[in-house]
Structure 1
């Protein structure tokens, strides 16, 4: 049995859905070759209420300067945030999401800067969220219909599959793609989670966000996407990130044991 096709071409949302205040938060570190292409594809979407917030961790390759130029070119739609240094994915997301909420966003999207997440799927994710009572929608690699780029390395596939099995076992969170980084949140859900309590970094940030949301009673829906291997730049996966991801489920169970 085959599942639904991944969201690839942008769907046309009806008014007023397409006009929603949606801010896409994109953390960057050494993504100078990808950011202009990502911004171009996001701004081409039929979502006039979309804004892009680029949170750069003082990239030595000039990503921050490129973000400034894009913000100057699109002053009403692109925001460049410069952070002091490489503090990690989780800290960049917490900073960017907090700024998005403070700026009046009704919905906040997360996506990587490396073009592994198809921007064209974003209207479909937003439409799915708006048509349900869910707190967030994930662009998922692992639900029926989800796809992985054939060029994604075998060891990355194995690591991702093991990570999801490991976290499912320890935290009992019924989400297939627990480490997914492409999603849309309702602003109210993020406020209920309280971003100040999120301490994880790296890929475990994604797990903690899912864990907190489901423990607080928010539904998370998964929609299939095609995940592409990056063609420019290098992965930020490090040994330290892997160790943090392995330890974090135990910390989460203890830290949030009274949460409901």
Structure 2
């Protein structure tokens, strides 16, 4: 996949991780640009991002006035990217859990897809150093999402993904209200229902080495509640006259399933 690549990296209190992630990113994909979307981090993450941007024209910073959720940070980043003419948009966490070294695999897969998910749960994907309860929660959540929404995806919650800008333009992100990792399910589902070509490639997900996880009970609760409501609405659409459900296209599966 050719074109200008922008990696959108939301941050909140990632001062210990940001420089490392940017170094790894540019060692792996030197031509990629990065947009740090910082939600007024009190630990100085925004200042670190500004210093990197002043020294490296491939780094850009979007400051927001307060912590307003992962979903809104990404939507703001997507808008900035389209205003500045980027062709490929990448989502990547700032904590080092998403391996920049595997970004070339995602970009290569865009040759035959509109959206590529870096998946922990297809053949070849792995999770390292996660507590057992986090791994169980993630696996159960993905299985539930797959069943309730009838999604042909094994890692719909993945936050490491690459998309063609044309797909971003087609999707109604102004309607996406999800704030936590449920945002990832929300827009992957919308992409499939819009007929996008979606595929998954294996990645190795590694628990952060520095800083604190942003996961919380409220984020998990939002995801379960929203997915359940969407699933009920989706099934009702099968039965209500005049409310036929748009088809969900099946993506390519690297495991051949």
TM-score (norm 1): 0.88
Residue 55 of structure 1 aligns to a residue whose secondary structure is strand
What are the residue-to-residue correspondences of 1:30-49 with 2, within 5 Å? 30-48=13-31
Q: Give the match for residue 140 of structure 2.
A: 162
Distance of 2:38 and 2:4 partners within structure 1: 22
Deviation of 1:154 (Å): 0.3
Call closer, same or farther: CA 1:158–1:46 in 2, change over 3 Å.
closer
1:99 maps onto 2:80 in alignment: yes
Aligned counterpart in structure 1 of residue 115 of structure 2, from 121, 136, 140: 136
Report if the CA contact (8 A) 2:149-2:234 is conserved. Answer: no
**Structure 1: where are the runs of 5+ without partners?**
1-16
Greater Cα shift, 195-204 or 108-117: 195-204
Cα separation, partners in 2 of 1:47 and 1:170, compared to 1, 3 Å: same
Any unmatched runs of 5+ in structure 2?
238-242, 247-257
Residue in structure 2 matched with residue 24 of structure 1 by the alignment? 7
The corresponding residue for 1:176 is: 154
Secondary structure, aligned partner of 1:39: helix
Aligned residue in 2 for 1:63: 45
Residue equivalent to 2:104: 123
Displacement of 1:95 after TM fit? 0.5
Answer yes or no: is the 8 Å Cα contact 1:98–1:195 preserved in 2: no
SS in structure 2 of the partner of residue 44 of structure 1: helix
Kindly report structure 1 stretches of 4+ aligned residues shifted beyond 3 Å.
250-260
Partner of 2:28, secondary structure, is: coil
1:46 & 1:184 partners in 2: Cα distance?
A: 13
What is the rounded CA distance, in whole Å, between the counterparts of 1:83 and 1:23 in structure 2?
18
Residue 254 (structure 2) aligns with: none
Computed over aligned residues only, the root mean square deviation of the Cα atoms, in angstroms, reads: 1.6
Aligned to 1:5: none
In structure 2, how many angstroms separate the alpha carbons of the residues matched to 1:124 and 1:239? Answer: 33
Distance 2:71 2:115 in 1: 18
Partners of 1:86 and 1:107 lie apart in 2 by 26
1:127 partner SS: helix
1:168-197 Cα offsets, whole Å, 9 max, x none, are: 121111100011000100101111112212
What is the CA distance between 1:164 and its match in structure 2? Answer: 0.6
Matched, 1:237 2:215: yes
